[in-house]
Amino acid sequence: MTAEKDNVSLVYKIEHEADMTFPIEGYKGQSRYGVYRYVPLVESAGVALVALLPSAEEKANIVIRVGTACFPMLFLTLLMVLLAGAVLWALVST
């Protein structure tokens, strides 16, 4: 399932790119939904979204993006470890 950056693009995809969306709300014993026949498939208290799984290439791109996005935090952590080590070395050597 691909992650959407905001709710607006998710709603757009549901309304314009999907063939069928859930939930189609009905009541127990209902046999018609407007002009269509109504057949209850799953009783659920929540919402279900059916989406295509990302390809192997898309998964690899996601891993690369996440890795590069974490690099500044990793760099900051290493810098703080280096600074703490220098402070401890200065305190012990005097």
Indicate whether 86 pLDDT > 60: yes
Please, which pLDDT band fits residue 18 given cuts at 50, 70 and 90?
Answer: low
User: How many domains are contained in the chain?
Assistant: 2
| pLDDT confidence of residue 1 | 45
Same domain, 60 and 84: yes
What residues have CB less than 8 Å from 31, skipping those under 6 apart? 37, 38
Same domain, 64 and 93: yes
Q: In angstroms, rounded to a whole number, what is the distance separating the alpha carbons of residues 13 and 16?
A: 5
Question: What confidence tens digit (pLDDT) does each residue in 19-71 have?
Answer: 666 566 777 778 887 777 777 777 766 666 667 788 999 999 999 999 899 99
Instruction: Give the range of the structural domain holding residue 35, as residue numbers without chain letter.
Output: 1-53
Higher pLDDT, 40 or 72: 72
pTM over 0.85: no
Let me know whether 94 and 72 are in one domain.
yes
If you ran DSSP here, which 8-state letter would residue 52 be given? Answer: P
